[in-house]
Amino acid sequence: MRIESSKSSQIRHVAALQKKARYRKEEKAFVVEGIKMVEEAPPEKIRAVYASDSFLERGGARSLAGIPYTEVSDAAFKAMSDTQTPQGVLAVVDAMEWDPEELLGGEAPLLILLEGLQDPGNLGTILRAGEGAGVTGVIMSRDTVDIYNPKVIRSTMGSVYRVPFMVSEDLRETLAQCRRRGIVSFAAHLSGTSDYDRRDYRGPSAFLIGNEAAGLSEELSEAADARVKIPMKGSVESLNAAVAASVFLYEAARQRRL
Q: Which of 63, 57, 22 is nearest to 49 (CA)?
A: 63
Query: What is the value of pTM for the model shown?
Result: 0.94
Look up the CATH number of domain 2-94. 3.30.1330.30
Counting residues of the chain whose pLDDT is more than 70, the rounded percentage is 100
Separation CA 65–CA 69 (nearest Å): 10
Query: What pLDDT was estimated at residue 101?
Result: 83
Indicate if 100-257 has the same CATH topology as 2-94: no
Is residue 1 scored above 80 in pLDDT? no
- Which among 225, 217, 88 is positioned nearest to 144, based on CA atoms? 217
203 pLDDT band, cuts 50/70/90, is very high
The percentage of residues in the chain with a pLDDT greater than 90, rounded to a whole number, is 88
Range 126-153 burial, b when 16+ CB lie within 10 A, else e: bbbbbbebebbbbbbbeebbbbbbbebb
Q: Which pLDDT tens digit goes with each residue over 22-78?
A: 999 999 999 999 999 999 999 999 999 999 999 999 999 999 998 999 999 999 999
What integer best gives the mean pLDDT of the chain? 95
65 with 103: CB under 8 angstroms? no
Domain ranges of the chain: 2-94, 100-257
pLDDT digits (tens, 9 = 90+) for 90-147: 999 999 999 988 888 888 999 999 999 999 999 999 999 999 999 999 999 999 999 9
* CA–CA separation, 155 and 129 (whole Å): 10
Determine the angle formed by the axes of helices 241-257 and 120-133, rounding to 10 degrees.
Answer: 10
Q: Which CATH superfamily is domain 100-257 in?
A: SPOUT methyltransferase, trefoil knot domain (3.40.1280.10)
Higher-pLDDT residue of 203, 213: 203
